[in-house]
Amino acid sequence: MKKKIYVITGSRADYGLMQVLINKLHKDRDIELKIFVTGTHLSSEFGNTYKEILKDGFKIERKVKILDYSDTPNAISKSTGLGIMRFAKLFDNTKPDLLVVLGDRYEIMSAVIAANFYQIPVAHIGGGDTTLGVVDEWIRHSITKMSWLHFASSSSSKKRIIQLGENPKRVFVSGSLGVDRLRNTNLLSKKLIEKKMKFTFNKKNILITYHPVTLEKNTSASQFKEILSAVSSLKNTKLIFTYPNSDTFGRIVIKMIKKFVSSNKCDSVKFSSMGYVNYLSVLKNVDCILGNSSSGLIEAPSLKIPTINIGDRQEGRLKANSVVDSKPKKNLIIKSIKKIYNKRFRENLKHNQNPYEYKNSAKKIYEIIKRAKIPLELKKFFYNT
């Protein structure tokens, strides 16, 4: 009898990370795989990124629309509640043997809450990480407590999962799926990515990806203003902006990006969503990534690309030596930019080690999921360390 496995993806980010794993599950004849999409995948504002899943040759079983056309705390709370109701209706009609999710988004949490009420075991990828500045922190740990199998990106993350009372026998260190996919992806050449994305690189190039720090009050506009003020002083530099996720007040950042690019068309360009391969291909060809995206900590170090990490969103995560932390102040950001162009700093990049890079992460997770016994009941004793 085939093992029924459902994968839920809510954004370009988590799908990009899970693509290799999904492909392995898809090819296994002993597994009945179904993919459900939700969140920003279904938003035209964020690029209708569900189309990337279809382009990769996967069938989407169902689209679960929960996203409100706003990013206020009230709207996100409503979206979470709507997600619980709609996933509950889904599970009322069909239930998997195992639900596979990644990360720390409210869309994913809503699905996991519903799954727990239906006693569906959950395999959670990316638990145990810590990000001081965002609600993802408590969402991630909440999903951990509702999950049966755990795949951590590092040994320190595994330790935190066990500290939360999870049985070490069900906690595995897999490394980052982001790095794993990077190693399994043929990135585009500089010339080809220019043609495909319809822009031209300059003498210097910076990729800017900034998300709101959701555990701080009303800092999005002020912090991003400091970033824009810093980068606007640069000469002979192409500024490549990507839109933030649908976090609280993320649309403030989008509005500021649109206004800046409109006034600086020769030196800047914006994208609602590049697509995973395009994004990594651009990342490979820039001088640094600036902002607070997890890709600056996870994928960039493996490409030997430096990161200027702004503010507290990623505070608490492991960081390679290629990551330069900066407070969101114009003068400090400019200082960090000068540092990443320093000859000695760039020479040291050749020897940079990525703490998230493990061999065959997707294969390890796939093999554990394939051989895992489906529990008859989800009783979990709190494991005391």
What integer pLDDT is reported at residue 12 of this predicted model?
86
* Dist CA 216 CA 202 (whole Å): 35
Which pairing describes strands 3-9 and 288-291: parallel, antiparallel, or unpaired?
A: unpaired
Residue whose pair of structure tokens reads 């800046």 in the numeric block: 260
Asked whether 125 and 101 are in contact (CB, 8 A), the reply is yes
Question: Rounded to an integer, what distance in angstroms lies between the CA atom of residue 80 and that of residue 355?
Answer: 33
**pLDDT given at position 136:** 79
Query: Where is average pLDDT lowest: 122-131, 249-258, 291-300, 333-342?
Result: 249-258
Question: Are 3 and 32 a contacting pair, CB within 8 Å?
Answer: yes
Q: Using the predicted structure, report yes or no on whether residue 131 has a pLDDT greater than 70.
A: yes
3-state SS string for 295-322: HHHHCHHHHCCCEEEECCCCCCCCCCCC
Q: Tell me how far apart the alpha carbons of residues 194 and 69 are, in angstroms, rounded to a whole number.
A: 32
Torsions phi, psi of 86, nearest 5?
A: -75, -35
pLDDT tens digits, residue range 267-303? 999 998 888 899 999 999 999 999 999 899 999 999 9
Q: Where are the strands (E) in the chain, listed by range? A: 3-9, 31-38, 60-64, 98-102, 122-125, 149-152, 171-173, 204-209, 237-242, 268-271, 288-291, 307-310, 323-326
What domains does the chain contain, in order, with CATH numbers? 3-175+358-371 (3.40.50.2000), 190-351 (3.40.50.2000)
Q: What is the mean pLDDT of residues 231-245?
A: 93
Two tokens, residue 215: 């555990």
CB atoms under 10 Å from CB of 23, counted, come to 18
Q: Which long-range contacts (CB under 8 A, 24 or more apart) does 291-297 make?
A: 291/208, 291/209, 291/210, 291/211, 291/227, 292/133, 292/209, 292/210, 292/211, 292/213, 293/209, 293/210, 293/211, 294/13, 294/178, 295/178, 295/209, 296/209, 296/323, 297/323, 297/356
176-215 per-position pLDDT tens digit: 898 988 988 899 999 999 999 999 999 999 999 998 775 5
**What DSSP element (H or E) covers 20?**
helix 12-27
Instruction: Tell me the β-bridge partners of 270.
Output: 241
- CB atoms inside a 10 Å sphere around CB 4: 16
In angstroms, the CA 66 to CA 380 distance is 30
How do residues 24-81 score in pLDDT, each as one tens digit?
A: 999 999 999 999 999 989 988 888 889 999 999 999 999 999 987 667 888 889 999 9
